[in-house]
Every structure is written in C-alpha cells, then in structure tokens.
Chain A
Amino acid sequence: MSLWKYANPVKFLHLSERVLPTLWVLSIACVATGLVWGFFFTPDDFRQGSTVKIIYLHVPSALMAINAWFMMLLASLIWLVRRHHVSALAAKAAAPVGVVMTVIALVTGALWGQPMWGTWWAWDPRLTSFLILFLFYLGYMALWAAIEDPDSAADLTSVLCLVGSVFAVLSRYAVNFWNQGLHQGTSIPVATGERSVADVFFVPLVIAMIGFGLLFLALVFYRTGTEIRLRRTKALLAREART
C-alpha cells in the first residue's frame, strides 16, 4: 500500500469516484455554514461596521489562491521527478481553480478597501503580490493551452511553475521593499498563537477556510478526472485514426 499506486490513472479514477461524493457534500456544507454564519450571525465590528463580513470570503480565497499554487508546485515536482501523468494533470486542473480564488480575493479586497481605505486599489505589497500571482496563473494556463504535445506541455509548464515560484517569492520581497503597505497583518498568526480576530469572528472564519480547502480538493479531484478522460479519449481517437 502506498500513495503512489494512485499515480495509475484508473486507480485514481476509482479513488476519486469513491471520495468525491463525500468531499462535495462536506465542502459545500462547510462553505455554506461558514458563509451563512458569517453573513447572518456575526456582529458588526465596531470600527469596520458590517464590512467585516467580507473576511469570510476574502481570507479563505486568498489562502487557497496561494495554496493552489503551492499544490501545483508540488505536483510539478512529482511529475518532473517520477513522471506520473496524473500529477501533471492535477497541476493543470488546479490552475483555473487558483485563478478564480485569486480573483475572488482581489475583488472582495477591492470592495472592502473602498469604504475602509477610501480606495478600490492601493499599490500595497499584498495586493500587488496577488496581482503578480494572478499574472503567473495566466501565463501558466496560456502555456498549457499553447502546446499540442501533452508530455512536452507538462514538462514546460512544470519548469515554468518552478521558476515562477522562485520569482513569485522574489517579487514578494521586492514589492515589500518598494512600498510599505497599509494591509492588515495576517488574521491567524500561527507562530505566536495569538489572534488579531475575536472569537465571534474566528469560528465561522475557520469553518469557511476549511470549506474552501475541501472545495479546492473536490474541484481538483474532479477536474483531474476530467483531464484524464480527455487524454484517454484523445489517445483512443488517435489509435483509431492510425488503424
């Protein structure tokens, strides 16, 4: 028994068929609970008023926007080292999810920033970093779309993902240097054990974050299955055309 047996596409499809229903239900339940709780049953913040409710969309989506890229990085490494097709396809499947998460984070951030900071957009390090991340996602997806041969595409996008990760981190520090920000510190500092968010806001936020994480997993599982089927269809058609 090892994790690697799921590198076999057929085994992976079986696994995802078994896991997916639970994953869908759990993720949608968590997202719905977190958002409904956050929207209806949390008090207004004394300084931010009701805009504090935006946090239940903003923070989880921002979290998943970064983690999606991180997952793509891992999957790309696995593809480059062990040549498992499922891994490359999982990276491909995760990219659009990551883009949507990035867009949600940017849009909700802008909507929150307008009343709070008095501007839709500020060239603040975090905002700018997300914009750069968004561009990296676009480039990555465009590269997948541009190359015909699936193995070459997987190789090239994987290397791009590695190089892009290095530059994304570099950009993060460069942007920090370039402009000190007005963005709030992290809401859940893991290292110090303290939180800047009060309990009333914290519990639904955590539920929403778990929900977004599960939703990401479900989507990646599902979309990877789609990619596998597309690949197989193509292979079968190609074989037919030859004979």
Chain B
Amino acid sequence: MMSAILPDLGKYAMPVLASYGSGLILLIGLVCVSVWQGRKAKAALDAVESKDQSDA
C-alpha cells in the first residue's frame, strides 16, 4: 500500500522519513503556535479596545 505512494527509498528509508517527519512537524508546529498566539493577542486587544470605547 505505502509503496504505491512513497518512492522507493531503499535502505535509507528511516532517516529520510524521520527527517521529513520531524522537519514538517517542527515547521507546522511553529506556524500553528504563531497563529494561535496571534489570535489570542488579537482577541485580547479587541476585548480591551471595545471595553475602552463603551466606557468613553
């Protein structure tokens, strides 16, 4: 099954797959954490600003 999708990596399949796996996990993790932090910051700022305006 897998061999139909994956190219033949020969005897070095483990290191190649592991590096792609770890590399992609790290990259996607970085993007996800960044976006999550960004969303949180935006929400916090919006909350404070809207409260500010309702006070004024």
Answer yes or no: A and B touching, Cβ < 8 Å: yes
Chain A residues within 8 Å of B, Cβ to Cβ: 31, 35, 39-40, 44, 49-51, 53-54, 57-58, 61, 96-97, 100, 103-104, 107-108, 111-112, 114-115, 215, 219, 222-223, 225-227, 229-230, 232-233, 236-237, 240
When chains A and B are docked, how far (Å) is the Cα of A54 from the Cα of B18? 10
Task: Decide if B30 touches A219 in the complex (CB within 8 Å).
Answer: yes
The A interface, classified by DSSP as helix, strand, loop or mixed, is helix
Task: Decide if A226 touches B19 in the complex (CB within 8 Å).
Answer: no
CB 8 Å contact bits of B17-40 with A (1 = contact, 0 = none): 011101110110111001101100
8 contacts between A and B (CB under 8 A): A50-B10, A96-B30, A100-B30, A107-B22, A111-B15, A115-B12, A215-B31, A232-B45
* A-side contacts of B49, CB under 8 Å: 236
Task: Decide if B26 touches A100 in the complex (CB within 8 Å).
Answer: yes
Interface size in chain B (residues, C-beta < 8 A)? 31
* B-side contacts of A103, CB under 8 Å: 26
When chains A and B are docked, how far (Å) is the Cα of A222 from the Cα of B39? 10
Chain B residues within 8 Å of A, Cβ to Cβ: 7-13, 15-16, 18-20, 22-24, 26-27, 29-31, 34-35, 37-38, 41-42, 44-45, 48-49, 52
* B-side contacts of A107, CB under 8 Å: 19, 22-23, 26
Task: Decide if A54 touches B15 in the complex (CB within 8 Å).
Answer: yes
Least Cβ distance of A18 to chain B in Å?
A: 16
When chains A and B are docked, how far (Å) is the Cα of A51 from the Cα of B20? 11
* A-side contacts of B13, CB under 8 Å: 50
Residue of A nearest to B11 (CB): A49
Residue of B nearest to A24 (CB): B31
When chains A and B are docked, how far (Å) is the Cα of A233 from the Cα of B41? 8
Task: Decide if A53 touches B38 in the complex (CB within 8 Å).
Answer: no
Task: Decide if A57 touches B52 in the complex (CB within 8 Å).
Answer: no
Least Cβ distance of A155 to chain B in Å?
A: 23
Task: Decide if B22 touches A49 in the complex (CB within 8 Å).
Answer: no
Task: Decide if A229 touches B16 in the complex (CB within 8 Å).
Answer: no
Residue of B nearest to A228 (CB): B41
